[in-house]
Amino acid sequence: MEITEVKVYPVSENEKLKAYATIIFDDCFVVRDLKIIDGNNGLFVAMPSKKKKDGTYRRTARTATRPTRSTPKPGT
């Protein structure tokens, strides 16, 4: 699977939220509403989520296995 397109939509009215992004894989699978957030340790990408009735959030897209969820350290 290859990333075939990335679109970034900057946001200026929020301090922490820097942008939304859309990624297209293999010209056929789209993931929208990724959030680029300025956290305590720098920028990170939050997966799309949906607010549930109880006020908590459930991710609508996520990695399927633990190894793919791990974040590689820069330079490794």
Residue where the block lists tokens 């301090």: 15
DSSP code of residue 45: E
Instruction: Please say whether the dihedral angle defined by the alpha carbons of residues 7, 22, 62 and 53, taken in this order, is positive or negative.
Output: positive
Predicted local confidence at residue 69, as pLDDT: 64
**pLDDT, tens digit, 9 for 90 and up, residues 55-75:** 998 888 777 777 766 665 555
List, as own/partner pairs, every contact residues 39-47 make where C-beta atoms lie below 8 angstroms and the sequence separation is at least 24, other chains included. 43/18, 45/21
Question: What pLDDT is recorded for position 54?
Answer: 95
- C-alpha span between 42 and 37 (Å, rounded): 8
What superfamily would CATH give domain 3-63?
Stage V sporulation protein G (3.30.1120.40)
Owner of token pair 């993931």:
31
Q: What is the mean pLDDT of residues 6-35?
A: 91
> Hey, where are the domains in the chain?
3-63
Higher pLDDT, 74 or 10: 10
